[in-house]
DNA sequence: CAGCCTCGCAACACATTGTGTTGCATGAGA
DNA sequence: TCTCATGCAACACAATGTGTTGCGAGGCTG
């Protein structure tokens, strides 16, 4: 997902789902599926017809990874645990309380981290890598 | 899993997989499957034959939730991301770097939290809940 | 207007994974 | 010897994510 967005920042004009799918090694329908959330959230625009495709609808500096995460529907972060909700068994309640606390705290840390990374920052990081890579290549030749 | 362990602390004698399965609403084979890791790690013992079953092999105060997590094979914590490892695309590398950092930090927080919760602490919490519950019941009657 | 391009959406096919289930062998006690 | 219990392997099943196809709607171009 982020991969797609960064590619779109590099390419200033509209990009079709087909091209993005080719970049990601998947197919266009999947791309549209995951981009739908971003479009509804107003971060992206999609245009039909010849010369259409996807364009950024906001400033990359104002959107954070957390925004993207929520636009995607805030999918579950953790792969484990999260048992049934207090099924009367007190043992279950104790376990849930301890784990839920730990999970909530870890999730808060993760989201805080995502919240202060903007798309523009990612793009800048990419630029730095590109520069380092080309410098390395020049040195090799 | 933790649910099972707490039940075993309450019951001082050996408990069969059948009984544990009944408590958890599953079946004995599944119980044995997940307990196998704990047995190999030395936290549990299992005995065959009549009167056999599962017993604790350690002091609940010395084993933490992190120990249990690792005895279970340290299953993946997060449900998302973790794309392919640097497939040459620099964009992918930038995205991975940013996300891996965030995930590592969140995982560290989670494990630190698990590391200072012992089984005995969970059992004590359960005791407190039991007490509160019975008090509430007395008040209601 | 006709033809092509692109997205939007729904339905289906498929692989993967976790979970439940069955069967049989092994060891321990009555 | 019989019963109880674990250990292990193999299979059945449901849920989920992903890829695929088909059709319709809208927009550009000649």
Per-residue pLDDT of A44-100, as tens digits, reads 999 999 999 999 999 999 999 999 999 999 999 998 876 666 667 888 888 888 898
What mean pLDDT do residues B47-54 have? 95
Q: pLDDT of B10-37, one tens digit each?
A: 888 999 999 999 999 999 999 999 999 9
Chain B closest-CA separation from residue A10 CA (Å): 10
Q: In the predicted model, is pLDDT for residue B84 greater than 80? A: no
| Residue with token string 């043992």 | A91
Shortest alpha-carbon distance between residue B95 and chain A (Å): 7
Test A110 with B90 for CB contact under 8 angstroms.
Answer: no
Chain B's closest residue to A117, CA to CA, is B98
Nearest-neighbour CA in chain B from A113: distance (Å):
6
Distances (CA, A) of A7 to A10, A39, A58, A134: 5, 16, 15, 18
Q: Cβ separation of A78 and B78 shorter than 8 Å?
A: yes
The pLDDT assigned to A86 comes to 60
Beta bridge partners of A55: A45
Taking a C-beta distance cutoff of 8 angstroms, is the pair A49, A13 a contact?
no
Predicted local distance difference test score (pLDDT) of residue B32: 97
Dist CA A35 CA A76 (whole Å):
18
Furthest CA-CA distance within chain B: 70
Per-residue pLDDT tens over the stretch B36-45: 999 999 999 9
Which chain B residues contact residue A96 at CB under 8 A? none
Tell me: the pLDDT tens digits for A21-32? 999 999 999 999
> Where do we find the tokens 């390395």?
A136
Binary contact (B95, A133; C-beta < 8 A): no
Q: Is the CB of B27 under 7 A from strand C?
A: yes
Query: What pLDDT digit, counting tens, does each position of B99-111 carry?
Result: 989 999 999 999 9
Name the residue closest to the C1' of D17 by its CA: A30
- What is the reported pLDDT for B33? 96
Residue B66 has which token pair? 């992190």
Domains (range + CATH), chain A: 1-63+118-141 (1.10.10.10), 73-116 (no CATH)
State the nearest Cα–Cα gap between A48 and chain B, in angstroms: 27
Using pLDDT thresholds of 50, 70 and 90, give the confidence band for residue B126: very high
Summarised one tens digit per residue, pLDDT across range A98-108 is 898 999 999 99
pLDDT of residue B27: 94
Q: Measured between alpha carbons, how far is B110 from A101 in angstroms, rounded to an integer?
A: 10
Chain A residues in contact with B107 by the CB 8 A cut-off are 106
Helices and strands of chain A, counted as H and E runs: 6, 2
Q: What residues 44-63 of chain A have any CB closer than 8 A to a CB of chain B?
A: none
Give the CA distances from residue A68 to residues A5, A18, A30, A71, A90, in Å, rounded to whole numbers and listed in that order.
Answer: 10, 22, 17, 5, 38
Question: What is the percent of chain B with per-residue pLDDT over 90, rounded to a whole number?
Answer: 75
At residue B86, the pLDDT reads: 60
CA of residue B55 to C1' of nucleotide C29, angstroms = 17
The two tokens of residue A66 are 């957390």
> How many interchain CB pairs under 8 A, A with B?
110
Nearest to B91 among A3, A80, A103 (CB): A3
Selected residue of B86, B87, B90, B118 to mutate for chain A interface (largest A Cβ count, 10 A): B90
Concatenating the DSSP letter of every residue in B23-87 gives HHTS-HHHHHHHHHHHHHTTSEEEE-STT-EEEE-S-TTT-BHHHHHHHTT----BSS----S--
């Amino acid at each position: 997902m982020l991969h797609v967005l960064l590619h779109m920042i590099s390419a200033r004009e509209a990009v079709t789902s087909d091209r993005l799918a080719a970049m990601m090694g998947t197919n266009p329908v999947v791309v549209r599926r995951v981009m739908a959330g971003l479009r509804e959230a107003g971060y992206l625009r999609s245009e039909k017809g010849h010369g259409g495709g996807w364009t950024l609808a906001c400033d990359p500096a104002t959107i954070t990874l957390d925004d993207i995460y929520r636009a995607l529907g805030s999918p579950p972060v953790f792969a484990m645990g999260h048992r049934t909700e207090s099924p009367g068994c007190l043992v279950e309640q104790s376990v849930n309380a301890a784990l839920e606390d730990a999970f909530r705290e870890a999730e808060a840390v993760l989201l805080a981290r995502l919240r202060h990374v903007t798309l523009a920052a990612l793009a800048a990081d990419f630029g730095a890598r590109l520069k380092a890579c080309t410098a390395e290549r020049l040195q090799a030749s």
